[in-house]
Each structure stands twice: as structure tokens, then as C-alpha cells.
Amino acid sequence: MSERPYVIDQMISAKSIAARIEELCGEIAQEYKETDKLVVVGLLRGSFVFIADLVRELDLPVEVDFLEASSYGNAMESSREVRILKDLRGEIEGRDVLVVEDIVDTGHTLTHVLHLLKSRNPAKLRTIALLDKPSRREADIKADWIGFSIPDEFVVGYGIDFAQRNRNLPFIGKVRFTE
């Protein structure tokens, strides 16, 4: 892949993300207050930073598992074909589950994942997304909790990548090509 030069403009600061996670965890703890152990399922790879901060802030007994789904590869646009690259290790039948997504864009990935997980009969299945791009939605889906709604921009940072780069940025930034 030939790389076009780009810069990253900060959109959402690390401080804003931390404050929003604290708010969301209060709501999630209320929703799951009766559970004996919440299974938090991170959608790899983009959610790994978000899920780490989320579970540390949650005042609930949690079990963490991961599922890797892909519809992007190294592209900037979704292929709309969702592939499961890594499945859960544990069982979720009869258990309370929270799916953690980095960004809901077209909605195809989250729709596919929820269909798969619902077929495994969890007791309660909810979703949280750090970012939501409602203007790009093609599937009829919305996360139960959303960190931030953003415009149709290509973003990186806080676990979200562009061709496997920029995941380590502590903020969410907009990619702007310079040529």
C-alpha cells in the first residue's frame, strides 16, 4: 500500500474520553446491578484500549472475552463483508453480556456480531460503542450506550488504527491527508 502523507487533528481529548467512560460505567453498573458476573466482550482490535479502561472503571464483577471481526482490512472504507477472525473462548448461554465496540459506522459488523451472539442465548445482551457515526449507518442498529457521536470523518487513536498505525494515541484524532 502506498502511503499518502497525513496529519492527525485531535477531535476528542484523553481527558474527555476518561470523563465519558466514568459516566457510562455508572449507567452500565445500574443496568447490570443484579448480575453475579458480567461477560464483557471486546471486539478486536479497535476496542482493546476502550475495554481496558471500561472494565477498570466498572464497579461490577466482570469476565473479559474477545471476538475479532473484520470488515475493513487496511482500507478506509468498510467492505460490508464481515468475517469472524477469532471467536469467544467462553460460553455466554444464560449469562449477561456487554459487547464493546470501538466505532459503529455502517453498522454491518455490530449487526453480524449481535446476530451471532444472540444465537448463543445470553440472558441479557447489550452494546456500548466509544464512537458512533450515525450519518454512515446502513444497518438498522444503534448501540445501547455511546461515548461520542462524531461526523463522517476517518478517525484514529485510542485503539483505532489506520493500516495498523496510530492505535497508541491517547486521544481520538481525525486523519487529514496533506496532498
SS3 for the chain, per residue? Answer: CCCCCEEEEEEECHHHHHHHHHHHHHHHHHHCCCCCCEEEEEEECCCHHHHHHHHHHCCCCEEEEEEEEECCCCCCCCCCCCEEEECCCCCCCCCEEEEEEEEECCCHHHHHHHHHHHCCCCCEEEEEEEEECHHHCCCCCCCCEEEEECCCCCEEECCECECCECCCCCCEEEEEECC
87 included as an active-site residue: no
The radius of gyration computed from the CA coordinates of the chain, to the nearest angstrom, equals 16
Among residues 102, 105, 140, 152, the one annotated as catalytic is 105
Instruction: Write out the catalytic residue numbers.
Output: 105
